[in-house]
A and B are shown apart, each in its own frame.
Chain A
Amino acid sequence: MEKEKIAAQIKDAKDEIFRSIEEKESIKKLVKSEIDRDFHIDPWELSHRELDNLMGRRLSFLNDDSDPTPDPANITSHRKILGKPIVFVKRIIMKLAGAYTNSILEKQRRFNDQLVAFHLAAFVRFQYNEKKIKELEERIKDFEDDRELLLDELKNIRRKID
């Protein structure tokens, strides 16, 4: 009887908490702490494949971020009533300042594009070289196998002669 009472009390409490858990969207809120961290990557520790992936990913990020021109759509406000006029004023200021900043940012954008293109070309060239090295390694291996076969055959012939 007492055990049943305890079980019922636990069940009610569980149901209540479960409902609240379902309402909370993020894990961060459920555990009341920050769950994500930043990690430092040391490129010297990475394998060739990992380096390739890293280079490819970073190139893609550089490409996505190459245009530094601000987008007016990014200006938002969390304030319910004052938000709209604040956003309006900020966008006006951005337009006015644009007359001075646009030429600098455009120059920066062109520079970034060139840099991304250069890195991509270097990456492709690097891949070609890797392929060539692999082919050469294969040929060396082939010679080594042949040497092993010849040595073995030589032993065989010697055995027969003896």
Chain B
Amino acid sequence: MNKQALEQVKEKIANSPKKSVEIVNEHYRELSAVEINQLFFSILVKTGRENNTALFQPLMPGILQFLKEKAGLQAAYNLLLRIETALGIRKPTLAIYDHTFHIIGGGEKYGFTVAHALQDMFDITILANKEVTHKNISDWYHLDLSKCKIKIIPIPFFDQFDPVNLDPGRVTRRVENPFHIIGKESGSFDFFINNGMNEMVYPLSNVSFIICHFPERRPTSYFYADNYSYIIYNSKYTSDWIEKKWKFSPHKHIYPPVDMEPEEKELEKENIILSVARFETGGSKKQVEMVRTFRKLCIRMPDRLKGWKLVLVGGSHEGNPYLQKIRDLLKAPGTENIELKVNIPGDELKNLYKKAKIFWHLCGLDQADPALVEHFGMTIVEAMQNKLAPIVFDGGGQREIVDQDKSGFRVTTSAELIKYTLRLIENPGLQMKISQNAFVRSKRFNRERFEREVKEYFTGLLDQYKGRNQ
């Protein structure tokens, strides 16, 4: 409905609030669902705030009946949730869901840090499909989420496949959508955040968010991303691909939280080139290419590489064929100065960050699939927070982190990697300058900044939800 006509409807309701339902019914075809909800919300909140029970009591059942008949039970329930919050009857509620909350990862850290930032503002429930505890969250991410509740909702459909990794790709139109159980749950909350970029969850809450770390799937069976009120994205790279794949624009950009700044005093730097990345089965993090390049450097230029070593750090599951391939490569001569460190404790990783001088990250190299290019690159920022000079692949979210020739180098081939590595090794002054710039640049991505941006964003939306300007 156009603005002027809507104002006229509002005026009519304000003049005869008892006839709200009849007035809305008269204009039902021209009004959108959002406009209808807003009209009913406004009149009920106004009478509620004035403590006008004489009007509120007879008015509410009629409105609810109208909504139940026209828009369904959920619309009526949502209106009540919103009025309760607006009248200050209870604290607003928020649920945050991720089908991979039980697995350690950057995306999961993003979601938990959102919960951490908002736990005073909302009554938060963490929704997971597999067991995860407050202690796990504290151990994995150093986040105290004791004010949040955790609710586990199992989805037995996935037990027939891999019971640990719930893969939404298994769900086709030939089976019932197993994520509807989460969609139904979302309707019990004022705000619902879907952190797992799982667009098969249909949101029923009043205000809903999908945090997209990358649009893995294109619109196909059970695609509901466009039913969410807001899409939050982690990098401009992700935003571009949301537009290309989902054909609509996301709403809010918040870079992920990175908190690897050294707490104690810095250690003396050693001649270490460091790589920190998961050993992905498909090899998308390109550790094999790093081994080959470093080996080549050591064999062809032993004098120039003297005293330098490459340390590959990352997490892996048992029996990972890609990790085995690296282990096999490391048996060859010329790889004596390459160290492999798998699943090491956090303290050991922190020490390596403190000691290393150069950071390599090649995720995206020779990659035709945009999903396998780094969507952001949290470990690059971790390295920069520890004053390492980064040399990274020129693509994906890495372009947003590293400014070429200023806070690091971006490369597109292993030949370029060789060129910039030698330049840094042989020019300590340049290396110091790049490291310092990288450290300054890394502040743009720390946790403090993340939580501040999240709080500001949600405070504005919550005010709007409560109808503070009504």
**Which of A's residues lie within 8 Å of B, judged by CB?**
2-3, 5-7, 9-10, 13-14, 17-18, 20-21, 24, 26-27, 29-33, 35-37, 39, 41, 45-50, 53, 57, 61, 137, 141-142, 144-149, 152-153, 156
B70 within 8 A of A: yes
The smallest beta-carbon distance between A14 and chain B, in angstroms, is 5
Q: How far is the CB of A35 from chain B (nearest CB, A)?
A: 6
B202/A27 in contact, CB under 8 A:
yes
> Which residues of A lie under 8 Å from residue B222 when comparing CB positions?
36
A21-B187 contact, Cβ under 8 Å, with A149-B297, A149-B301: yes
Q: Is the CB of A148 within 8 A of B418?
A: yes
Q: Which residue of A lies closest to B172 (CB)?
A: A57
Docked complex Cα distance between A52 and B48 (Å): 58
Q: How far is the CB of B31 from chain A (nearest CB, A)?
A: 15
Contact A17 B372 (CB under 8 A): no
B interface, size bucket: 35 or more
Cβ-closest chain A residue relative to B416: A148
Which residues of chain A have C-beta atoms less than 8 A from B296's C-beta? 145-146, 149
**Interface of chain A, main secondary structure:** helix
B80-A10 in contact (CB<8A): yes
A152 touches B74 (CB 8 A): no
Residues of B at under 8 Å CB distance from A?
48, 51-53, 56-57, 60-61, 64, 68, 70-77, 80-81, 83-84, 87, 89, 169, 172-174, 180, 183-184, 187-188, 202, 204, 218-224, 227, 244, 292-293, 296-297, 300-301, 304, 366, 368-372, 413-416, 418-419, 422
Contact, CB under 8 Å: A30 / B87:
no
- B224–A47 CB distance below 8 A: no
- Known A-B contacts: A41-B218, A153-B300. Give 8 more (CB < 8 A): A9-B60, A14-B77, A31-B72, A39-B223, A47-B370, A47-B371, A49-B369, A61-B174
Asked if B204 contacts A30 (CB within 8 A), the reply is yes
Q: Is the CB of A39 within 8 A of B77?
A: no
Cα A145 to Cα B298 with chains together (Å): 13
- A32 and B72 contacting across the interface, CB-CB below 8 Å: yes
Complex interface: chain B residues within 8 A of A30 (CB): 72-74, 184, 187, 204
Selected from A6, A47, A142, the residue in CB contact (under 8 A) with B56 is A6
